[in-house]
Structure 1
């Protein structure tokens, strides 16, 4: 049985009963959880980690345990917009006001708009927006799409390799199976040298989700349009909509979403204190088993 699971993980994806057996096996392997870890470890979460490791329970267990350890120290559910707002002033990463054709949240990344130098703060900003994208997924949808705009990108404001590597590390190791597709739109030729290095950090599954789109390449443009309605897609990505990032309006939206996130994680009191300048850690009350904010 186990060799069949190992050699053909498509069985799990196509057979709900087989998948359920593996989910229960991973659940038993992880053991009892409490607090936020209990809330995080839903069946959907177990399935994502199993899919990320081709349904190998031992590898999935190791991966999930590392995420639980990371979340206990990084505390992504506690990050609030006012803590990372400076990173969002230029709109270098933000959640779009539209979804793709499958109802997925969309993150727009504009590496040419980098405005800070602190890697730690940049990663907190990224994680905050990953959590926010997940928070705003419609019921039954677990993945997001990325659109990467190279307007203003040059070798002088290039994202450091260290930043790119840490971004990939967080996405692959702590948000497995959250990325559906990433479109890199019309990158300049000089980006090729950067990509040759970065692609080695990508696992095979992630690499397959990264698509380059060039306006003169009809096949790549058509592929992109199977994911996005042309009316929603900004002109910067070959669509017809206007890309208008309004920092003040986006800040208001994020502040409202902070309230939803705090309620989801049982952090209403902490959110109120954070608004008054308090930023210390608190022990969250034992939550009921709600839909997770990440996986």
Structure 2
């Protein structure tokens, strides 16, 4: 027997907006995209049909960009990305446990790129969405929302003072808010130390009001969250380590067979920037203080995405990721923005793209655009940039 599908009652004008919205975006809808799916986008944009359409089409492009059949997941993400899908709650919602303190972003980003991390996150969200959709066939539409438990034990804010880590977290939050509206049922942040409030007060600026309203924070040592969680989740499917009843077959209360706990990434796994094989695709150039490097790129494939990689060498001949990339140039009416995917939609056979690269260095007492940064003061810094032929627009989806 199928569960009753619980939907809010709609006013006449809302029913009309839903009907008009469906007709507007019917060219990108799939067979499973029902009224509940469309209502997510309308609610997220306060029933503004044009804004909801823009949001949904952006999410559609995002999904097409990141989901591919030939992607080989980096080993570091398989072994050190902390998360686990432990099952579903009483309403069928996928329940994800994240031992966040096991996330070594510094180590991960020295083994793989931020774009690979983003891709993995998108694939996980899509997987959780599919699990929820299948559950909704018998449990009701609430199964399409996620329950998340984040354990912040030993949270170290220093890791996120490193610019690439901070920018990655911001990028992930923005991606989620823009492309997965109203999919969070509730998020329990547990064992949060006092310093966590500093990080959360910053990151919540990038969250929608709906998302913020679904987050419950509990201080370190508090067990009040367990009572709330077990009101809608069977303790039998929750790890004994966190107050549930589930253990692995060998009695492990952390259930490591279902949950990856992450941990410190061994330096042996770090990508060696000076390896001969890696250098084969790079050229060296020196950018003096106050100067710019311009690279002309040709693109003749509509819908392509620009791919690039940069790395800087400091005065101690060590590779440093404390550099920032500013993009300028046009593909028809689309301007590329730093850190944002820029699919090219030109219709002409050839479009010129120009990259303008500057170096900035993160310091704690200089703020600009919400991130600590200032210009490099050294007279010259060695920059390694992918060869123009390698930088040419490609159909391989990557993040800028």
Please, what TM-score do these two structures have when normalized by structure 1? Answer: 0.68
What SS class does the counterpart of residue 182 from structure 1 fall into?
A: strand
Residues 1-295 of structure 1 mapped to structure 2, 5 A cutoff: 13-15=8-10, 19-30=14-25, 32-33=26-27, 37-39=29-31, 41-74=33-66, 76=67, 78=68, 82-84=72-74, 86-96=76-86, 98-115=87-104, 116-117=108-109, 118-137=113-132, 138=135, 139=137, 140=140, 141-158=143-160, 160-214=165-219, 217=222, 220-241=225-246, 242-246=253-257
Q: CA deviation at 1:219?
A: 5.1
- Structure with a larger share of its residues in helix: 1
CA distance in 1, matches of 2:192, 2:71: 30
Gaps of 5+ in 2: 1-6, 247-252, 261-393
SS of corresponding position for 1:13: coil
Task: Provide structure 1 residue ranges, at least 5 long, that are not aligned to the other structure.
Answer: 1-11, 250-279, 283-295
Contact 2:149/2:187 (<8 A) preserved: yes
Q: Which has the higher contact order (CA 8 A, sep 6+)?
A: 1
Q: Size of the alignment, in residue pairs?
A: 235
Match of 1:270 in 2: none
Q: Which has the larger share of strand?
A: 2
Q: Is the 8 A contact 2:188 2:225 kept in 1?
A: no
Question: Matched residues in 1 for 2:259 and 2:9: separation?
Answer: 45
The structural deviation recorded for 1:224 is 2.8
Q: C-alpha root-mean-square deviation of aligned residues, in Å? A: 3.2
Q: Is the CA contact 2:84–2:259 (under 8 Å) kept in the aligned structure 1?
A: no
Q: Is residue 112–residue 152 contact of structure 1 (8 Å, CA) maintained in 2?
A: yes
* 8 A Cα contact 1:183 1:213, kept in partner: yes
Cα separation, partners in 2 of 1:208 and 1:111, compared to 1, 3 Å: same
Please state how far the C-alpha of 1:209 moved relative to its aligned partner. Answer: 0.6
